[in-house]
Amino acid sequence: MKGKVETQRQKILKHLQRGWAINPLVALKLYGCFRLSSIIFLLKKDGHKIDSNRRRGYSTYYMAEHADKWGVE
């Protein structure tokens, strides 16, 4: 098998770096991730500035540098 397999964590980081928000349903659908909050915790621990907005019982995560895009100051 050629190339390196990209982990869920790497895929979700790239998703956020593109300026896109992510929530648990999107993470499950696109990346097969059942534990988005765990991955977000690890990314924050790695030093990435990730913010969240909680509505309707779940959180939506986005990179802090893109907060204006998501209507958050």
pLDDT band per the 50, 70, 90 thresholds, residue 20: very high
Please give the average per-residue pLDDT across 32-52, as a whole number.
Answer: 95
pLDDT surpasses 50 at 1: no
Q: Delineate the domains of the chain, giving CATH numbers in brackets.
A: 8-70 (1.10.10)
Contact by Cβ (8 Å): 6, 37: no
Q: Is the pLDDT of residue 13 over 80?
A: yes
- Dihedral angle over CA of 54, 56, 61, 64, nearest 10: -40
Q: Is the dihedral of CA 16, 48, 11, 27 positive or negative?
A: negative
Residue pair 23/61 in contact by the 8 Å Cβ criterion? yes
pTM for this entry = 0.82
* Rg for the chain, CA atoms, rounded: 12
> What pLDDT score was predicted for residue 55?
86
Residue 6 has what pLDDT? 83
